[in-house]
Amino acid sequence: MERRDFIRFCAASAFAAPALAADAQPRFYARAKLVDPEGEPLHADAIPANRNLIFHYPFAATPCFLLNLGRPAKSSALLKTAANERYEWHGGVGPARAVVAYSAICAHKMSYPTKDISFISFRAEKSARNKFGSVIHCCSEHSQYDPAEGAKVLAGPAPQPLAAILLEHDPATDEIEAVGTLGGEMFNEFFGKFAFRLALEHGGRAQAAVSGSCVVQSLDNYCRQQVKC
């Protein structure tokens, strides 16, 4: 079965079973091919391992992390949103199933990477404040998420996983497209809370839908100061 078909099959079958509570449905947005800063398609096997890469999807101002974990992600994870909606995440993409993507908006108080500063990023190494390696860590109040398991919450006050970005990988070209989200989106709250700042950063285009392509770049290039903790 083609990977693309497999994702659709999984998305459908995951919600076919009788549910005790409402299920969180995948939300499909306009397709966007992941490209490098020169506009060339990004290839899964060329994504460096354990590096913070950032892109914006499904809206011009909503940041996401793209990560090559350097090892296969778990093939599935059963997760819940803060509203107690269940969903099943179906692992990474690419030849090694190691490429994953998540909203970079912290599920606690929505700290997110701006061009000036970022309190949230992937950390390969443990630290004094981080007993886990290979986590997405928000230094605001130390929420930590496991990117190899659907960004489930490992520690801290976050009430739900980071929303997953649904990726489709084409084995023939090794290219990747973002197609939607799965889990607890916080985009409405995000646009409400940061309306003034987002207007300064993006003009009137903060809520513009991304389609066609979206540029992936290193967080080091995108952000002037990364807070590590």
Is residue 141 near ligand FES by the rule CB under 6 A?
yes
Number of residues interacting with ligand FES: please give it, by CB under 6 A: 11
**Rule CB under 6 A: is residue 135 a binding residue for ligand FES?**
no
Q: Which of residues 71-100 bind ligand FES (CB under 6 A)?
A: none
Residue 226 is a binding residue for ligand FES (CB under 6 A): no
For position 151 contacting ligand FES by CB under 6 A, the verdict is no
Q: How far is the CB of 167 from ligand FES (least distance, A)?
A: 24
Contacts of 108 (CB under 8 A, 6+ apart): 138, 140, 141, 143, 156, 157, 158, 159
Q: Site for ligand FES (CB under 6 A): which residue of 52, 111, 114, 130?
A: 111
Residue 153: CB minimum distance to ligand FES, A: 10
SS3 letters across 145-163: EEHHHCCEEEECCCCCCCC
Smallest distance from ligand FES to CB 87, Å: 21
Position 109 contacts ligand FES (CB under 6 A): yes
By CB under 6 A, name the binding residues for ligand FES: 106, 108-109, 111, 138, 140-141, 143, 156-158
